[in-house]
Structure 1
């Protein structure tokens, strides 16, 4: 393995790819987390100045990787559990385990791309008894970023999964009323207390980000897949209909509070608890590999 290009950030040695004005800082050792994405000298993502690096998976910022499942899953009302095809119940944390575990760095081009890999191990198998390779590939584009989440079934039984992103976009809370999210044709859904999706409502074409209907809400894509996040400082267009990608099932919107200086727009392959209700659930055959690809184009 060649010496990795690194940069000290908040007392941590992070991997850096890119140039002076367009670069990524990543923490493979902390869940493969994208910590900073700088585009034309400006931070696109939020990261707190007082981040607790003793518990990096709990830090609100960057882009945590969600795998093998996103969101909350329940068995008989008990959160953090899921039932397999044979009826066995397993314990798995919300959003899975990827954000809590170290990734290996595979291919890297210091000019602008990196592949980080998580493989099944003694920490993953108790709650997810499958053999897998999960790759996160980040590649800088002249006008943005392409991210590929690639899952490979290296075992001898079908593997269930529905990964996703948790992008924390930098946005002062006072600017929410002046920011919007445009969506294609979608159904607006929230999760019920037992884990099942609630009743679907027709989504709006455009929302202001201070609209309470966006909080912890899943926008289920019914045709074209994408979104446009327009903020005073910049616009970010999500391209989700990328050739070679599996279908993205939903775009999720969330923020911790009305005073948070970030807003999350998250492409997800499935809905929370899909392992039970199957909306977006993927099954990979032994030896099969598939990728979920999104592109984020920045203007402004």
Structure 2
């Protein structure tokens, strides 16, 4: 691997990919986190000025990678647990372990793309007893960004997974009422206290971002997948029906509070607790590899 292009940011040495006006700053050592994505000189993602780098997995910002499972899991209404096919009880943190572990940079083009890789280890096997390679491939596009989450089963037993994203988009909270999210036909679903998906309500074609129905809500696609986030001065289109990609099951909408200067739109391959209820659950045979690909297009 050649010497990595880097930039100092908040006292950290981050990997830099791109040019002066279109670039990414990434922290492979901190969960493969995309920290900044600058498009035409403007930050697309939110990152706090006072980020606590002693606990980067807890920082609200950038794009944490969610693997092997997204969301919260429950056994007998106890969060943080799941049961495997043999009936063994396993402990797994919310959104999995990828955002807490260091990735290796396994390929890089300083002008436009980087591949970061996480492999199974003594840290992953107690809660997830499978051999895997998980690659996150970020590639700058002339009008946006393409991200590929590629999972490969390197073991001798079938592997369950349903990865996802947690994009924190920069949006001053005062602009939420002037911002909208448009969706294809989808049902609004929330997780019940026992972990199962609640009954779905028919979704609407578009919502204002100050609509309380969006908070911590899964928008489960009925057919085609996608989304369009429109904010003052910027529109971000999510292309989720990409050739060669596994299906995206839903996007989730969330923000920490009404005063937060970010808004999260998160493409997910499955729903939380899918290992138990099956909605979006993927099983990879030994030697199998599959990718979840999304493209974000930015227009003014």
Aligning the two structures, in what range does the TM-score lie when normalised by the shorter sequence? over 0.9
The residue that corresponds to 1:163 in the other structure is 163
Distance 1:199 1:223 in 2: 18
The residue that corresponds to 1:6 in the other structure is 6
Q: Which runs of 5 or more structure 2 residues have no equivalent in the other structure?
A: none
Distance 2:23 2:209 in 1: 27
Pairwise CA RMSD of aligned residues? Answer: 0.3
Structure 2 residue 105 is matched with structure 1 residue 127: no
Distance 2:158 2:75 in 1: 21
Which secondary structure state, in structure 2, belongs to the residue aligned with residue 146 of structure 1? Answer: strand
The residue that corresponds to 1:154 in the other structure is 154
After the TM superposition, which residues 153-232 of structure 1 pair with which residues of structure 2 at under 5 Å, given as runs?
A: 153-232=153-232
Distance 2:213 2:201 in 1: 11
Distance 1:143 1:2 in 2: 28
After the TM superposition, which residues 90-101 of structure 1 pair with which residues of structure 2 at under 5 Å, given as runs?
A: 90-101=90-101
Distance 1:25 1:112 in 2: 12
Q: What do the CA deviations read for 1:162-218 (whole angstroms, capped 9, x no partner)?
A: 000000000000000000000000010000000000001100100000000000000
After the TM superposition, which residues 81-96 of structure 1 pair with which residues of structure 2 at under 5 Å, given as runs?
A: 81-96=81-96
Which secondary structure state, in structure 2, belongs to the residue aligned with residue 57 of structure 1? Answer: helix
Which secondary structure state, in structure 2, belongs to the residue aligned with residue 13 of structure 1? Answer: strand
Distance 2:69 2:191 in 1: 15
Structure 2 residue 24 is matched with structure 1 residue 34: no
Distance 1:103 1:221 in 2: 31
Size of the alignment, in residue pairs? 300
Distance 2:250 2:172 in 1: 25
The residue that corresponds to 1:281 in the other structure is 281
Deviation, 1:233, is 2.1
Which secondary structure state, in structure 2, belongs to the residue aligned with residue 21 of structure 1? Answer: coil
Structure 2 residue 46 is matched with structure 1 residue 46: yes
Distance 2:186 2:140 in 1: 29
User: Any runs of at least 4 consecutive aligned residues in structure 1 with deviations exceeding 2 A, and if so which?
Assistant: none
Deviation, 1:224, is 1.1
Which secondary structure state, in structure 2, belongs to the residue aligned with residue 263 of structure 1? Answer: strand
Distance 2:53 2:222 in 1: 39
The residue that corresponds to 1:238 in the other structure is 238
TM-score w.r.t. length of structure 2 = 1.00
Q: What do the CA deviations read for 1:148-169 (whole angstroms, capped 9, x no partner)?
A: 0000000000000000000000
Which secondary structure state, in structure 1, belongs to the residue aligned with residue 70 of structure 2? Answer: coil
Q: Which runs of 5 or more structure 1 residues have no equivalent in the other structure?
A: none
Q: What do the CA deviations read for 1:27-65 (whole angstroms, capped 9, x no partner)?
A: 000000000000000000000000000000000000000
Distance 2:17 2:154 in 1: 29
TM-score w.r.t. length of structure 1 = 1.00
